Amino acid sequence: MIDSQSISIPTISSANALPILKVLTAQRSLLAGMAAMHNQLGDIFEISFPGFAAIVLTGSTFAREVLVTSRQQFEWRNDRDPVTGLLRHGVLVEDGHFHDTLRGYMEPTLRRSKVGEYLPAMLGWTDEVISKWGNGSVQDMLVEMRRLALLILMDTLFAVDMSADLPRLWGPILRILSYISPGLWLMKPELPRFGYQKSINEMDEYLFSLIRERRLNDPRAGDLLSELVCRQDMTDDLIRDQLLTMLIAGHDTSTALLSWALYLLAAHPDDMTLVQQEVDQILGEKLPSLEEINQLHYLDQVVKEALRLYPPIHVGNRLARADLALQGCPVPRGRRIMVSYYLTHRDQKVWQEADRFQPQRFDRSSPHEQPPFSYLPFGGGPRNCIGAAFAQVEAKAILARILQTFDLELAAPQVKIRMGATLEPQPGVLIKVRRRNGSHVVNEQVGVSA
Ligand code: HEM
């Protein structure tokens, strides 16, 4: 509800700066700084630097207001952001009727009922990637899961085998992710950004060649690329924008989720054992069906908890369409609004021992139910994640297959949270993989710093 009473929005002042600055200097992390500001200033606060101002919102009341009840007051598209420059007219950065039309074109291929059809490809690519892991070798899961997520996404949604092109496109994809990651451009968007255009051109060339080929050859009914190509109103440029949107939004998030989940499992051997017992009991050594994946309840809780602790998309960014008020606080037109999914997921008012990995909190029989909109890994309302069903089936299929095959042991226990295009484990997740039958190695020396 928009309230007309006026209360000013708390921000850093000489009275409260010290504890926040202490955290910022000790941890040198924006995320830790935001958590300190939340502690000091509450569920609504303003960050303001020369050239940059944003209102940060935490908790279910604000989330519901921005994402659902007052959503018409906010827009997504921000022409100062590189993500808009990159995705141009992609569904992620469009608003209003055009957004709804694009979303309507893409939704059928990502429906829950459709996702089961993608399972064989998800499992096939998983086996292809993990078959290369030697017994006792150390794998960087951030790299391996990115490779896997890209191969799966391209095959299932675009009916394209990307394996031959992936080595040459790997560099451009990483450059593009760095282009849209937070940086100096937030304060100085007018500064030219050198060194990215070549990578964008390389990706464009690849995507346009896929569109051309599909127009020439019989489109395979059912996949997203064919669906888009068959639509009269979709030009090559518009299709390119949707393909790049899906490629970036659909693989970088899954990469982050999978690498965090593997990190958490390797760091918590008791939970890994519980998942392995469940997987052994329900699947044995065979490939899972969708029905069996849905029976892996503990694995489901692990995935949900990984998404709570490390939501790959940690904020929902919006702009105020007009002067408005949020719970009585005035917000000027054009102000950037950030609904913090990360802070909401770690809000001590809602989550007991919020910073601890406790998959059981998502046990459906648990008495502690969280209020709606306090758990938002896929956002909320009509602009929630279009790939949420896809991502959850994919994550559980991949993790089940890995845990059927390997025991995991952390090879480098300390990781940091990096605020890139998604929240990523930095410098990566190094895990020693051992073919099953060996005993689990307990490593107490683990920790993540924000
Ligand atoms: C673990 C995996 C994923 C996570 C955590 C995730 C998270 C999110 C979140 C939080 C949003 C809403 C952002 C906002 O509030 O502004 C979103 C939107 C979106 N996601 Fe995902 N996502 C994931 C996987 C995927 C996949 C697999 C696809 C595509 C196949 C995808 C495509 C999109 C698109 C196109 C949007 C924009 C929807 C719209 O504006 O209507 N995502 N995602």
State the CATH number of the domain containing residue 43. 3.30.43.20
Average pLDDT of span 313-317: 97
How far is the CA of 377 from the CAs of 140, 216, 229, 313, 394, in angstroms? 24, 39, 31, 7, 15
Does position 256 have pLDDT exceeding 90, yes or no? yes
Tally of CA atoms within 13 A in the half-sphere of 126 that contains its CB: 23
Cα-to-chain-centroid distance, residue 199:
22
Q: Is 314 in the pocket of ligand 1 (CB under 6 A)?
A: no
Best of 385, 393, 424 to mutate for ligand 1, by most ligand atoms within 8 A of CB? Answer: 385
Residue 258, burial from CB neighbour count under 10 angstroms (0-12, 13-18, 19+)? buried
Q: What is the DSSP string of 225-254?
A: HHHHHT-TT--HHHHHHHHHHHHHHHHHHH
- Residues 381 and 353 both lie in one domain: no
Cα-to-chain-centroid distance, residue 403:
22
- Which of the four pLDDT bands, split at 50, 70 and 90, describes residue 438? very low
- Residues 106 and 201 both lie in one domain: yes
Which of these three, 376, 398, 415, is where a domain ends? 376
Q: Whose CA is nearest to atom 21 of ligand 1?
A: 385
- Cα–Cα distance measured from residue 400 to residue 45, given in angstroms and rounded to the nearest whole number: 41
Query: Quick one: which of 208, 226, 227 has its CA closest to 217?
Result: 226
- Residues 309 and 319 both lie in one domain: no
Query: Quick one: which of 183, 207, 200 has its CA closest to 81?
Result: 183
Q: Are 349 and 70 in contact (CB under 8 A)?
A: no
- Residues 121 and 248 both lie in one domain: yes
Q: Whose CA is nearest to atom 23 of ligand 1?
A: 253
Amino acid at residue number 222: G
Query: In the prediction, which pLDDT does 173 show?
Result: 98
- Residues 269 and 122 both lie in one domain: yes
Q: Is 316 in the pocket of ligand 1 (CB under 6 A)?
A: yes
- Residues 63 and 196 both lie in one domain: no
Q: Are strands 430-435 and 315-320 parallel, antiparallel or unpaired?
A: unpaired
Which of these three, 376, 403, 430, is where a domain ends? 376
Q: Whose CA is nearest to atom 1 of ligand 1?
A: 254
Ligand 1 center–CA 246 separation, angstroms: 9
Average pLDDT of span 108-135: 96
- Residues 21 and 37 both lie in one domain: yes
Does position 439 have pLDDT exceeding 80, yes or no? no
Query: In the prediction, which pLDDT does 365 show?
Result: 82
- Residues 108 and 129 both lie in one domain: yes
Q: Is 377 in the pocket of ligand 1 (CB under 6 A)?
A: yes
Ligand 1 center–CA 383 separation, angstroms: 9
Q: Is 313 in the pocket of ligand 1 (CB under 6 A)?
A: yes
Ligand 1 center–CA 13 separation, angstroms: 35
Question: Domains in the chain: how many in total?
Answer: 2
Supply the mean pLDDT for the chain: 93
Does position 278 have pLDDT exceeding 60, yes or no? yes
Does position 446 have pLDDT exceeding 80, yes or no? no
Q: Is 320 in the pocket of ligand 1 (CB under 6 A)?
A: no
- Which of the four pLDDT bands, split at 50, 70 and 90, describes residue 450? low
User: H or E element: which one contains 92?
Assistant: none
* 291: three-class secondary structure by DSSP: helix
Domain extent, residue 137, equals 76-313+377-449
CATH of the domain at 444: 1.10.630.10
pLDDT single digits (tens) 358-383: 999 999 887 677 889 999 999 999 99
- Residues 321 and 417 both lie in one domain: no
Query: In the prediction, which pLDDT does 24 show?
Result: 84
Mean pLDDT is lowest, of 181-195, 232-246, 319-333, 402-416, for 181-195
- Residues 180 and 278 both lie in one domain: yes
Q: Whose CA is nearest to atom 16 of ligand 1?
A: 316
- Residues 278 and 232 both lie in one domain: yes
Q: 423 pairs with which residues across the strands?
A: 419
Average pLDDT of span 54-78: 97
Q: Is 345 in the pocket of ligand 1 (CB under 6 A)?
A: no
Which of these three, 376, 393, 422, is where a domain ends? 376
Q: Is 257 in the pocket of ligand 1 (CB under 6 A)?
A: yes
Ligand 1 center–CA 256 separation, angstroms: 13
- Residues 52 and 85 both lie in one domain: no
Ligand 1 center–CA 318 separation, angstroms: 15
Query: In the prediction, which pLDDT does 283 show?
Result: 97
